[in-house]
A and B are shown apart, each in its own frame.
Chain A
Amino acid sequence: MREIYYILLLPVMCGLLGFLIKRLRNEMGFLGFVLTLYFSLRIFLLFQNQSFSYDIASIAGIDFRIYVDNLTRFILLFNALFAFLILLYSVLAMRKMPGESVYQLYLGLTLSGANGVVLSGNLILLLIFWNMLVFSLYGILLVGKKESVLAARKALTIIGVSDFIMMLGILIIYVLMGEVNFPVNQKLPLSNGIYIAVYILLLVGALAKAGAMPLHTWIPESAKVVPASTMAFIPASLDKLLGIYFLVRISYYLFDISQSMPIRITLMVIGSITIIFAVMMALVQKEAMRLLSFCAVSQVGYMFLGIGTCIPIGVAGGLFHMLNHTLYDACLFLSAGSVEYRTRTTELDRLGGLGVKMPLTMFCFIIAAFAISGVPPFNGFYSKWMIYQGVIELHKQTNLWVIFLVSAMFGSVLTLASFLKMIHSLFLGERPKELDKVCEARFGMVTPTLILALLCIIFGIFAEQIPLAHLIYPSLPFLRIEKIGFWSAELTTILMILGIVIGLIIFLLGTGLKPRKSKVFVGGEVLDTEQARITGPNFYSSVHNIDMLEKTYKFGGEGAFDFYNYLRGIFGGFSVIFRDVINQFFVIFYRSLAGVIQALGRVFSSIHNGELPGYLGWIFLGGIIILILVGLL
């Protein structure tokens, strides 16, 4: 039981000690995160298939309760794993960056907060930890490679506002139910209007945390300006873990969304829209981090789609996709970060041909890119396959399943397309001259990336045996998870490797190693190789020029789809009205006061006219009044 306190306190304590004692910073951080990983692993092994809860305190009639079940165990383990890998990476990557001294403190704070959210057995305690994450998010975004204050502001506003909305939902449940402890005795019904409202309020919190549309806009905004390790840690891994954790908790443990078709459709529509819109944005990006961040947003759509189906296989797929997403997305951000570490740029048209120089990074990147695009046999494929099965199974309940399925598959294709562009621009093609001295990233940076890439492969090939059997299926409240269709990862892997080997042999036997080289002419002038280089960014620029899409992209580029702008606009509009109201009171009051005083003045000045008879009259009148009063008393 003590482990629970350790994993809550160790990260933030070690972060704080490292912040205070500069010399021991890395040691402290390392120690804290390794111990947290160890204790998380212990919790994972110790409390297998059992759930328990106990109260740590009772303040103001609210039980502050810890609750551990299978879902908790598995999220805790991955929280700690990611934190550890990112720390390992950031020790080298963040060296000599501004704000380096507080970076580990924020990492620790975030990990503690995230562990707290997952361990909370009470919605109010969860709210407290959730709120703590706003602090650490804002702080960590400020530690940037460039001026990141705008991105931090946007994140603070969006997350802060959604937190308040979520707070309202939690407090309404608290007031209605009297207690909000896990596990709930009886799931709340979604038939009543007020409960539906509460569910939507809570959903806003989950949407913002997971970064689904329309609350995602701070993620691409920060991608350009914050270090890759921050992107890999918060939007790519921890926020997804927490957001989807919360979504699953409210959808299947607190409420039961299987009763309410409209809510499920809402979730799936949000999912589909997120998939398509975000990937369309990703397709035309010209900067590596932004492209990755849009792809990351797009993948959240699959999780919402899977969880919204309410079909056991689909929900398991959604949860599994969340896990896979954190693995490959963190891996992508870290390898892109390694490229940036060596080349000092993330603009796609200034990069290229780095495959020879950075083979390990390329390997990791390609594995993760295939995983995110859903290429078998990697992990992303398996979870997407499960989600597809869930959506297909939906055909008995709604006719919209076709749209969901098409958008999910189409999104997958577009993801692959954008990653082909990115792989080409980073690792293939002609190398610009100034990148000739680039070499492989440091050992400490490649190791975490490699670990993540290997996990992507293992979780893909042995999906049934390892992650699904031990992590995903036990975490869900379904007794039986039925699969439709047939898939054998081992067989596919063998066949694919066989195919690749045959392809390689044909390639080597043919002209593959003897490319034809000649000069490039334009109008009789010989271009040097630098000018003739084919860079990636314009791969799909024709998409940009399709009539309707052109306008949409232009609109989007100007911030038309940015919730942040609408939020500020709406509140700003009300604000102008309110300011006028508040000032008008002032004017009205003082005008009326001045009127009264002037009227009184006029009356008195007419009395006070300086004529003796008048004054004598007043004196007599006063005397009579005094006499009457004396007589009365």
Chain B
Amino acid sequence: MNMEFNFLFDRFGIFLSITFIFIGLMSFIYALATIKQKGHKLEYYLMLLLIVLSGVGVALSNNILFIYICWEIATFAVWRAVVFYRNPDQVSSGNIVFITNFISGAIMLIGIGILYLDNNSLIISQIRQLNLTAIILITIGIFTKSVILPLHFWLIPAYSSIPSAIGGLLAGIAENLGLILFYRLFSTNIYVPDEFFAVVAWLAVISSLIAGGAAYRTNRLRYLLAYSTISQVGFILLGFSAGGQFGNSGAMLYILAHALAKSGLFYGVGTIEDITGEANIKNISCMLKVSPILTVMMALLFSSLVGFFPMIGFFSKLMVIIGALQKNIYFGFFAIASAIFTLLYSDRFYHELFYGEKCDIKEIKSARKVGIVEIIVVFILTLSSLLLGIFFYEILAFIGGF
């Protein structure tokens, strides 16, 4: 059995590794300021490092089995992170996360086994025979890890329970693993049938639309983040499955844009939850008075999510939509509808959090001040979204493809 665990240092892998390590570093700094649990604090940092490790491992690996091992490490680490505070609610969320991910991982393992039997190798570049059964089984794993409808459901309890410091990692790293595998195994492989990509692209764009819609009418902050992640990840998968230069490069850019914006939003929302002790949007308003600087930064992060120039989200969305249109004009309409939903829910949440009619000045004055470390972390993420948006061509030049 050819079991060399060889690595592939291509530009895509290096680009993703740098992104993941940067997101990991931010999470680490944020955790230093916010994680106060004395007893098992160490466990927390271990899980943080394991998630980063799994991300880098998947990004640089050339062997499907090694990818699978990293995949399971991520499952384990996310599970432990979700149950970090050991509340009964969190434990039940953790069970859902673990069971779902584990079952899908096992299903994927069967697919990998079939691939091995067909090709006698697990090195990605040597895989030429792609059995339809294997493709479907592996796709189930990918959809679960990367939260595409209808296999998204573990994300919602996971997001509701996870400490916000590591939530950024979940949004920025753990959910991208499936997308990376999809790109490595299918997008660059000429032996995969075209119909498969068409089906995946439809699923991705519908998933993105439905999740975007769900985010508009939810009232819980964490649910918003979860639905929004499902929606954005759908966009990334749309890019990879549409393929072509624009689709692939756009999706890669989108991974970066989404990781920066979503982890920034996660930390911002986490900070707001910390100082108000509320998880429901209806009970929070007027955060502008508490922290004007956080208001500005959250506005920029939301606009990166929506895709306004000069944030990096603009170019990634533009390129993904071009890629999708090249494949099929109708994708464009769904993608734009999804983008409009993104605009609407971002607008709603941003304004209800930071503005709002009923401002109780007394209550706000008694609220805890926003810590400097939290602000700095969100600031760095915002600034990098902005600067990378202005110099997006440098990233494109680095990724190559054009």
Contact = CB atoms under 8 A, between A and B. Distances in A.
Given A59-B393, A164-B343, A575 B213 contact: yes
Interface residues of B, number: 49
A582 B227 contact: yes
B149 A585 contact: yes
B321 interface: yes
Contacts of B340: 160-161, 164, 571
Nearest to A166: B336
Interface stretch (A129-137, A257-265, A280-288, A441-449): A129-137
Interface in B227-259: 227, 230, 245-246, 249
B210 A578 contact: yes
Nearest to B354: A149
Contact of A131 (B230, B314, B393): B314
B156 A175 contact: no
B336 A168 contact: yes
A127 B309 CA distance: 9
B305 to A, nearest CB: 12
Nearest to A574: B213
A582 B212 CA distance: 10
A391 B355 CA distance: 48
Of A61, A157, A167, A583, chain B has the most CB atoms within 10 Å of the CB of A167
B336 A164 contact: yes
A575 B216 contact: yes
Of A129, A164, A586, chain B has the most CB atoms within 10 Å of the CB of A164
A568 B344 contact: yes
Contacts of A156: 347
A582 B402 contact: no
A60 interface: yes
Interface string A145-166: 0000100010011001100110
A171 interface: yes
Contacts of B210: 578, 581-582
A556 interface: no
A164 B344 CA distance: 12
Interface stretch (B33-41, B61-69, B324-332): B324-332
Contacts of B318: 124, 127, 167, 171
A422 B325 CA distance: 51
Contacts of A171: 318, 321-322, 325, 332
B214 A578 contact: yes
A462 interface: no
Interface in B196-212: 209-212
A128 interface: yes
Contacts of A526: none
A571 B344 contact: yes
A163 to B, nearest CB: 8
A344 interface: no
B36 to A, nearest CB: 32
Contacts of A59: 393, 396, 402
A153 B393 CA distance: 31
A60 B246 CA distance: 8
Contacts of A61: 245, 402
A160 B214 contact: no
B308 A153 contact: no
Nearest to A194: B329
Contacts of B396: 59-60
A593 to B, nearest CB: 8
B337 to A, nearest CB: 9
A579 interface: yes
Interface size class of A (residues with CB under 8 A): 35 or more
A160 B153 contact: no
Nearest to B306: A160
A503 interface: no
Nearest to A580: B214
B336 A60 contact: no
B308 A135 contact: yes
Contacts of B303: 135
Contacts of A571: 213, 216, 340-341, 344
Contacts of A593: 99
A589 interface: yes
Contacts of A165: 336
B257 to A, nearest CB: 15
A296 to B, nearest CB: 25
Contact of A575 (B329, B333, B341): B341
A612 interface: no
A616 interface: no
Nearest to A139: B299
A60 B217 contact: no
B265 interface: no
Contacts of B227: 582
A575 B214 contact: yes
A168 B321 contact: yes
Contacts of B322: 171, 174-175
A398 to B, nearest CB: 32
Given A571-B216, A579-B214, A134 B308 contact: yes
Interface string A165-185: 101100110110000000000
Given A59-B393, A157-B347, A172 B217 contact: no
A577 interface: yes
Given A157-B344, A568-B344, A175 B325 contact: yes
A167 B308 CA distance: 11
B221 interface: no
Contacts of B336: 164-165, 167-168
A156 B346 CA distance: 11
Contact of B153 (A167, A174, A175, A586): A586
Nearest to A593: B99
A576 interface: yes
B216 A585 contact: no
Contacts of A499: none
A622 interface: no
B150 interface: yes
Contacts of B319: 60
B94 to A, nearest CB: 15
Given A161-B343, A172-B329, A586-B156, A132 B213 contact: no
Contacts of A60: 245-246, 249, 319, 393, 396, 402
B217 A167 contact: no
A572 interface: yes
B396 to A, nearest CB: 6
B344 A582 contact: no
A572 B343 contact: no
Of A571, A581, A583, chain B has the most CB atoms within 10 Å of the CB of A571
A579 B156 CA distance: 12
A63 to B, nearest CB: 13
A219 to B, nearest CB: 18
A61 B393 CA distance: 11
A61 to B, nearest CB: 6
Contacts of B332: 168, 171-172
Contacts of B310: 132, 135
Interface in A557-604: 568, 571-572, 574-579, 581-583, 585-586, 589-590, 593
Nearest to A132: B309
A585 B149 CA distance: 9
A211 to B, nearest CB: 19
A582 B347 CA distance: 21
B309 A135 contact: yes
19 contacts: A59-B393, A59-B402, A60-B319, A60-B393, A60-B402, A127-B318, A132-B310, A135-B308, A157-B344, A164-B339, A165-B336, A167-B321, A171-B321, A172-B332, A194-B329, A575-B216, A578-B213, A581-B214, A593-B99
Interface of A: 57, 59-61, 124, 127-129, 131-132, 134-135, 149, 153, 156-157, 160-161, 164-165, 167-168, 171-172, 174-175, 194, 568, 571-572, 574-579, 581-583, 585-586, 589-590, 593
9 nearest CB pairs, A to B = A578-B213, A131-B309, A586-B153, A575-B216, A579-B214, A575-B217, A575-B213, A175-B325, A578-B210
Given A135-B309, A156-B347, A174-B325, 15 more contacts: A57-B393, A59-B393, A60-B393, A61-B245, A124-B318, A127-B318, A128-B309, A132-B309, A157-B347, A160-B308, A160-B340, A164-B340, A172-B325, A175-B325, A582-B227
